Chain A
Amino acid sequence: MKDPVNSPKKSSDRGGDRPPSGFFPRWMNINLLAQDVSFFILGLIGASIVGWIIFPAVLYSKHPQPINFNHALHLDSEKVDGIEGETKAEKCLFCHSFRDDGTFAGIQKLEKCTECHDDPESPLGETPAEKTFMTKYVANEEEIPWLVYSKQPDCVYFSHIAHVKMGNIDCATCHGVFADNEKLPLYVKNRLTGYSRDIWGKRISGFYWNKKFSDRMKMDDCARCHTEKDQEQNNACFVCHK
């Protein structure tokens, strides 16, 4: 008997009633296996490229905000009258305020802006953003269509006053640091869900080491914080859902 491994396959060997030659089946041919592995890896790499690079690129669309709002500028108490406070949160609350009934005003309407920027003819600064703001929105009394990074689905209920006032949690804990930004980040929108990327988290993997609360805004993150802060009773469904 010839070494079945080394014996080249000949068409003439086939046929007849001879059993398949050799101890190892033919597919275990090392060359073929090597080929398989390389193609497998090729597929693997291809999939990784698709999954890690192309998919996120296709999934998200990027939108600039209608106006580049300068948070750093507006939080400067020397420039803006009335912005005062010990903590950053208190400064934030100057615009993003609570109403008398405790509800959160969120991003204010034009009305709040025009408390200072009252005359479309005379801008308070020299930035092009303010110019657009004045001519496009203030002059036409049109609301600015802000894209809200932290907009949650309709079924979610969130009480800012419970967290910020009663829980003493800083705005940046969940929203990240906006106060020092001179430019608004691009709004990255998930084409499928329609929500901002910031909700699911900037990391497409969804994995974080030492995850900060500002990294993501999903239900698990709310629950994790409640548990950590010994507020487990607030993990009941109706606390955050409506």
Chain B
Amino acid sequence: MKKANDHGKFKYGMVIDIDKCTGCGTCMVACAAENNVAVRADQSDKERTITWMRLYKISNGKEFPKAEVSYFPRPCMHCDHHPPCVSVCVATATKLDFNTGIVSQIYTRCIGCRYCQAACPYGARYFNWWDVFPQDKGMDRYLTPEVSPRMRGVVEKCTFCHQRLMRAKTLAYAEDRREIEEGEYVTACAEACPAQAITFGDLNNPEHEVSKLIKHPFTFRLLERIGTEPKVYYHSNRDWIRKLGDNFLPGEYTPVVNKSWAEEEWSTKPGRDEF
């Protein structure tokens, strides 16, 4: 048995640029369409509506007309260090694959105890309270065979579109290659984002764009201090957004000061805070 920090070849992860994110929700729809996610008549009950990728609306808390909103797109974080869901799963239905960094979820193995759902600090796991679809509407005609539809009573979550990794590998094999190139395996949300806010790649490969982006001082992760080492990173020029990445006590948050470097190298414009 390998240790949690003894990693394999790949470590897939993503960087989401919140300033580019337009809050349009295409990532959510692309995710649902790609992964055979169930739809129900009432989807306003957000505790029971399944959204592997979910937008959280945040606000800077200022009064009109200084108020502004923004969004945290939240897939599964694919925690790299002792994923809480994996630790608690009694059925070994969810595991961290050290070779890809992807936290898997096997529906047929899941017993539906929902312990993982309670353990996940990001609320990224969803329980199937119902079967996939209302029957007899012909909606099963758009289901993809690449992802197994879930039955009632199991937990599901974002898989970093694992089927797309398999697709990319299969194509590479057909073309007599063993390795896949950057960009060949990209999640559905990253591909669909019309503003190209999501970058996906191998964090172990210094050549990949994601590896470069995570070094930026404006890049942060959600609830970084609980030590689960999420592989989903966020990026924003706006201080108030970065501050919402964790539950800071007053005075705990230190704004990033390394701005001159950032502006020259990375940023095309100052954040709105400085405009």
Interface residues, chain A, with chain B CB atoms under 8 Å away: 98-103, 153-155, 157, 159, 161-162, 165-166, 233, 236-239, 241-242
Contacts and interface: CB of A to CB of B under 8 A. Distances in A.
Contacts of B167: 101
B97 A166 contact: no
Contacts of B108: 153, 155, 241
A72 to B, nearest CB: 29
B85 to A, nearest CB: 13
A242 to B, nearest CB: 5
Contacts of A166: 173, 178
Given A154-B148, A155-B148, A241 B170 contact: no
Given A102-B171, A155-B107, A162-B170, A236 B95 contact: yes
Nearest to B159: A238
Given A155-B107, A233-B99, A242 B170 contact: no
B174 A161 contact: yes
B149 interface: yes
Interface of chain B: mostly helix, strand, loop or mixed: loop
A69 to B, nearest CB: 25
Nearest to A233: B99
Contacts of B49: none
The list of the 7 closest CB pairs from A to B, nearest first, reads A102-B174, A102-B170, A236-B97, A238-B104, A237-B104, A233-B99, A161-B173
A101 B107 contact: no
Contacts of B175: 102
17 contacts: A102-B170, A102-B172, A102-B175, A154-B148, A155-B107, A157-B166, A159-B166, A165-B174, A236-B95, A236-B98, A236-B99, A238-B97, A238-B104, A242-B146, A242-B148, A242-B162, A242-B166
Contacts of A155: 106-108, 148
Nearest to A239: B97
Contact of B163 (A98, A237, A242): A242
Which of A153, A162, A165, A233: most chain B Cβ within 10 A? A233
Interface string B152-183: 00000001001100110111111100100000
Interface in B125-164: 146-149, 159, 162-163
A238 B102 contact: yes
A236 B171 contact: no
B174 to A, nearest CB: 3
Interface in B108-128: 108
Nearest to A160: B170
Contact of B100 (A102, A157, A236): A236
A101 B170 CA distance: 7
Nearest to A238: B104
Nearest to B167: A101
Nearest to B93: A237
A54 B173 CA distance: 47
B97 A237 contact: yes
Given A159-B166, A236-B97, A242-B147, A101 B171 contact: yes
